[in-house]
Amino acid sequence: MPQRGPSAAPAPGPADRARAASVRGIAEELARMRGPLLPILHAVVAAHGYVHDDDIPVIAEVLNLSRADVLGVVSFYHDFRRTPPAAHRVALCRAEACQARGADATYAAATDRWAGSTEIELGEVFCLGNCALGPAGTLDGALHARLTPERLDTLTAEWDR
């Protein structure tokens, strides 16, 4: 009977065997949990900073899922980054309350300052629950209130060194 779909030949092995072994260990440890895929992906991100393309077939094999199943979950949730993280992360609130307090100017200044930076990643969030003290944002995960372009410069001054 002719085979349908992709080749039955195994995929090439991962480039980083130590990482693959680590990911396999994480997946095998958590595989018995109910609904193990999300906890495994979170653990991989916690251990390695991101989910590499080579991690996907390893996790799929351990959980007896297709690569498409794992990739679909990884690509759906923005928490599962697929590239190494920048050294610093800035996330600025873009919701209405913060916009009313000047978030657009702060975001524009931050975009101008860090455009093209590989060391600082700028993102946006939609409400941090800190509306009364907006514009709000997080710098490396720490919540900050009443952010202005000048305050951002002060808070991140040591990042440029």
pLDDT in tens, 8-63: 555 556 788 999 999 999 999 999 999 999 999 999 999 999 999 999 999 999 99
The pLDDT assigned to 1 comes to 47
Backbone angles phi, psi at 134, to 5 degrees: -70, 165
Type of residue found at 144: H
Q: Which residue has the higher pLDDT, 12 or 116?
A: 116
Where does the chain have alpha helices with state H? 17-30, 37-48, 55-63, 67-76, 96-100, 103-114, 149-155
Q: If pLDDT is split at 50, 70 and 90, which confidence band does 115 have?
A: confident
Please give the pLDDT value at position 148: 95
Question: What pLDDT does 8 receive?
Answer: 53
Does this model's pTM top 0.85? My answer is no
